[in-house]
């Protein structure tokens, strides 16, 4: 008979049905415990909060290190009757959303937007599965405590963990934000390798345990190549379901065009970011529109468009870091919200949005088998189609080729992580992430 030492934190114990009644009665009688049978399994989830060194309870099962498992957190371990509430309120079926890097700066904004209903709608109950690193586990508990204290009516479950195989179980959305930032002295090739390993592991975990139609948005940089690594390690999930976030770049480009044209930014549409989320990205002013007119008809200063606008968008992140002393967490989280909403709501007639997606079958002649930001439209079902009727000129083609070459070089550099043999790193040295100067 094993003895489980209950700690002041929350402990998850797996039990077989024969052990359930014994344990639940005993624990509930002794102290504050939440007990929840897990649907369609012979397991239950029990979480107890007890004082340190309190009585040891004999438990006829093995226990697990709480930090190695995704665990329901605090108040979110208590039972609720969503089914009854669905009947009275017409709420939708609960969706499972995983967020990695959940204790980081971007997540600190994003999680509260998701939990509030701003992203998936006011009738959509949410389960948040938070993935952190070992180092950030305590901070993850802090995040979960803040979510508890926010009393969001739609937020029905929160679990925290550091094992992607646990955290990604059955998730329908995976927002992969956690990554190592590029610090001083860290080569871009080293960053590709360090973060690539994270995304290879997370791809494998998604492949093993996530919903077969999970939608994945990769934010952690270098996000295009991380998304490629992730999808290559998840062969049972459609490659089309993987996105690299370039929506912040799109939003920045819209803002700059609006400023130059002297209009509010809601008048700017059809904005494409082509290519890599790096300083080679291409904000497309040839196809974008202002008040429904081609940008070049509204902004006559074409030299500004070609020289200043493009660079301004490419380097916006770096300038912001210089001012703030940290990267753009709030506007990035807004752009993640935009990216998700663009997939779950129909794209307005005639418009489109940018996302870094898998290039196979693209109609633009861009190299296949990379993740490249391109113009997309959605019917609001989580899926998307590439926009066919876009124009190219020599300027746009040349810029796109540079970003394409960079992504092909990044791909060669991570061949060991995509199952394509020996890596060869011949990265162009004049390109950087947008946040780097």
Site residues (vs ligand NAD, CB under 6 A): 100-101, 103-106, 131-133, 135-136, 177-181, 198, 219-221, 223, 245, 248, 277, 327-329, 332, 435
CB of 98 vs ligand NAD, minimal distance in Å: 10
What count of other Cβ atoms lies within 10 Å of the Cβ of residue 369?
14
CB of 316 vs ligand NAD, minimal distance in Å: 11
User: Hey, what are 74's tokens?
Assistant: 């605090």
> Quick one: which of 174, 196, 7 has its CA closest to 102?
174
CB of 217 vs ligand NAD, minimal distance in Å: 9
**Cβ proximity to ligand NAD, 222 vs 375, nearer residue:** 222
CB of 307 vs ligand NAD, minimal distance in Å: 24
**Cβ proximity to ligand NAD, 71 vs 298, nearer residue:** 71
CB of 218 vs ligand NAD, minimal distance in Å: 8
**Cβ proximity to ligand NAD, 27 vs 273, nearer residue:** 273
Cα 366–344–342 angle (5° rounding)? 50
**Cβ proximity to ligand NAD, 241 vs 354, nearer residue:** 354
**Cβ proximity to ligand NAD, 181 vs 294, nearer residue:** 181
Helix (H, G, I), strand (E, B) or coil at 68: helix
59, 4 Cβ separation under 8 angstroms: yes
- Backbone dihedral region of 170: left (phi > 0), alpha (psi from -120 to 50 degrees) or beta? left
Query: For 103, how many CA atoms within 13 A lie in the half-sphere containing its CB?
Result: 19
User: Hey, what are 332's tokens?
Assistant: 């990035």
* CA dist., res. 244 & res. 242, Å (int): 7
**Does the active-site annotation cover 416?**
no
Helix or strand (DSSP H, E) at 78: none
- Which of 14, 109, 277, 302 is labelled catalytic? 277
| Residues marked as catalytic | 277
């Amino acid at each position: 008979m094993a003895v489980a030492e209950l700690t002041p934190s929350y402990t998850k114990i797996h039990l077989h049905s024969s052990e359930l009644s014994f344990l639940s009665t005993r624990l509930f009688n002794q102290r504050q415990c939440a007990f929840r049978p897990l649907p369609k399994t012979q397991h239950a989830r029990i979480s107890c909060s007890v004082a340190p060194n309190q009585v040891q309870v004999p438990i006829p099962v093995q226990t697990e290190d709480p930090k190695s498992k995704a665990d329901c957190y605090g108040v979110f371990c208590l039972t609720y009757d969503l089914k009854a509430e669905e009947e009275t309120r017409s709420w939708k079926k609960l969706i499972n959303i995983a967020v990695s890097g959940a204790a980081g700066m971007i997540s600190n904004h994003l999680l509260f937007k998701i939990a509030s209903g701003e992203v998936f709608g006011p009738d959509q109950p949410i389960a948040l599965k938070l993935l952190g690193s070992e180092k950030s586990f305590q901070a993850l508990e802090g995040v979960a405590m803040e979510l508890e204290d926010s009393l969001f009516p739609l937020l029905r479950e929160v679990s925290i963990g550091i094992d992607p195989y646990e955290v990604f179980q059955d998730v329908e959305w995976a927002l992969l934000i956690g990554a190592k930032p590029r610090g001083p002295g860290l080569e871009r090739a080293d960053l590709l390798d360090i973060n690539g390993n994270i995304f290879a592991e997370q791809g494998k975990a998604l492949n093993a345990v996530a919903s077969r139609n999970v939608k994945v948005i990769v934010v952690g940089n270098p996000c295009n190549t991380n998304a490629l690594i992730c999808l290559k390690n998840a062969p049972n999930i459609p490659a089309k379901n993987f996105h690299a976030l370039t929506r912040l770049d799109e939003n920045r480009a819209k803002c700059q065009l609006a400023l130059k044209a002297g209009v509010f930014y809601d008048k700017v549409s059809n904005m494409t970011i082509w290519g890599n989320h790096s300083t080679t990205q291409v904000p497309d002013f040839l196809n974008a529109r202002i008040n429904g007119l081609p940008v070049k008809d509204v902004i006559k200063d074409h030299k500004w468009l070609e020289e200043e606008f493009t660079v301004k968008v490419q380097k916006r992140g770096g300038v912001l870091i210089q001012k703030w002393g940290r990267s753009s967490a709030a506007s990035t989280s807004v752009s993640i919200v935009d990216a998700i909403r663009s997939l779950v709501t129909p794209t307005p007639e005639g418009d489109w949005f940018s996302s870094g997606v898998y290039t196979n079958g693209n109609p633009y002649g861009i190299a296949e088998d990379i993740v490249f930001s391109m113009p997309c439209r959605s019917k609001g079902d989580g899926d998307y189609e590439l926009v066919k009727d876009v124009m190219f000129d020599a300027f746009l083609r040349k810029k796109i080729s540079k970003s394409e070459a960079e992504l092909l070089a990044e791909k060669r550099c991570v061949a060991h992580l995509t199952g394509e043999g020996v890596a060869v790193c011949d990265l162009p040295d004049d390109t950087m992430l947008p946040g780097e100067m």
